[in-house]
């Protein structure tokens, strides 16, 4: 059984996609042992509560400095001892020590086709604003392992989404979520739970187990 902790910051639609996939057996052999949010008001925490999943709030604002928060966050994750940490719309930088302790055991969903439109400052709606500003015709989402860089870890899977005439950032974000994020993240979790993903020479490799 793959024990996962899901980290969230906002609406939790990616968490909901995971919950739905668990219910529909599209994710197998997996248990969410906790949901952690940096935001007490995150709707994602309500989604966790409605499934009787423990919700934990850990906010940098509650600590005197980032280093102290990083230590507390890393200690909590180590205490929970998940097999996999899933960043689902989580807007806090992962502490280097946590990346080291959970090498290739932290995954993130990013709302673009990495290496485009990613890195510092590229999150949430901002990603789609930049996509429309640049005028690209195809965007999408990427699920990847988290390493010490920002959106630079081994890519597990990607899914393309067409930009359409008249798209606003909000309309495009919703399409990328529906057509890509909510498909990729549950599938990646099930692939990892079933041992179908390995990392070789810093590349994620899919093998039908």
Stretch that binds ligand GRF, among 12-20, 52-60, 78-86, 164-172 (CB under 6 A): 12-20
85 binds ligand GRF (CB under 6 A): no
Active site amino acids: 110
Stretch that binds ligand GRF, among 3-11, 48-56, 77-85, 192-200 (CB under 6 A): 3-11
Q: What's the DSSP call for residue 123?
A: -
For the record, the structure tokens of 48 come out as 């966790």
Q: Enumerate residues 21-50 that contact ligand GRF by CB under 6 A.
A: 44
Q: Which of 5, 6, 7, 14 binds ligand GRF (CB under 6 A)?
A: 14
User: Residues 139, 130: contact at Cβ < 8 Å?
Assistant: no
User: Residues 6, 17: contact at Cβ < 8 Å?
Assistant: no
**Count of residues near ligand GRF by CB under 6 A:** 16
Q: Which of 151, 181, 190, 191 binds ligand GRF (CB under 6 A)?
A: 181
Between 1 and 138, CB nearer to ligand GRF? 138
The answer to whether the bond into 110 is cis (omega within 30° of 0) is no
Query: How many whole angstroms separate alpha carbon 133 and alpha carbon 73?
Result: 36
User: Residues 121, 127: contact at Cβ < 8 Å?
Assistant: no
User: Residues 40, 62: contact at Cβ < 8 Å?
Assistant: no
153 binds ligand GRF (CB under 6 A): no
124 binds ligand GRF (CB under 6 A): yes
Q: Which of 3, 11, 159, 174 binds ligand GRF (CB under 6 A)?
A: 11
Stretch that binds ligand GRF, among 11-19, 75-83, 149-157, 189-197 (CB under 6 A): 11-19
55 binds ligand GRF (CB under 6 A): no
User: Residues 40, 12: contact at Cβ < 8 Å?
Assistant: no
| Cα angle 60, 63, 69; round to 5 | 60
For the record, the structure tokens of 110 come out as 């990013």
Which residues of this protein are in contact with ligand GRF, per CB under 6 A?
Answer: 8, 10-15, 44, 88-89, 109, 111, 124, 173, 177, 181
């Amino acid at each position: 059984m793959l024990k996962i902790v899901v980290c969230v910051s906002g609406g939790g639609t990616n968490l909901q996609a995971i919950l739905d996939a668990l219910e529909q057996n599209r994710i197998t052999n997996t248990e969410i042992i906790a949901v952690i949010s940096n935001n007490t008001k995150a709707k994602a925490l309500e989604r966790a509560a409605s499934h009787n999943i423990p919700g934990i709030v850990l906010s940098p604002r509650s600590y005197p400095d980032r280093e102290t928060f990083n230590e507390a966050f890393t200690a909590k994750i180590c205490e929970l001892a998940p097999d996999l940490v899933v960043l689902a719309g989580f807007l806090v930088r992962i502490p280097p020590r946590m990346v080291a302790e959970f090498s290739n055991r932290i995954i993130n969903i990013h709302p673009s086709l990495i290496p485009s439109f990613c890195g510092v400052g590229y999150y949430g709606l901002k990603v789609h604003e930049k996509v429309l500003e640049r005028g690209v015709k195809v965007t999408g989402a990427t699920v990847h392992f988290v390493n010490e860089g920002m959106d630079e870890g081994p890519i597990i899977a990607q899914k393309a989404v067409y930009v359409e005439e008249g798209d606003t950032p909000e309309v495009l974000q919703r399409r990328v979520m529906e057509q890509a994020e909510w498909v990729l993240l549950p599938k990646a979790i099930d692939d990892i739970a079933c041992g179908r993903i390995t990392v070789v020479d810093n590349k994620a490799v899919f093998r039908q187990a």
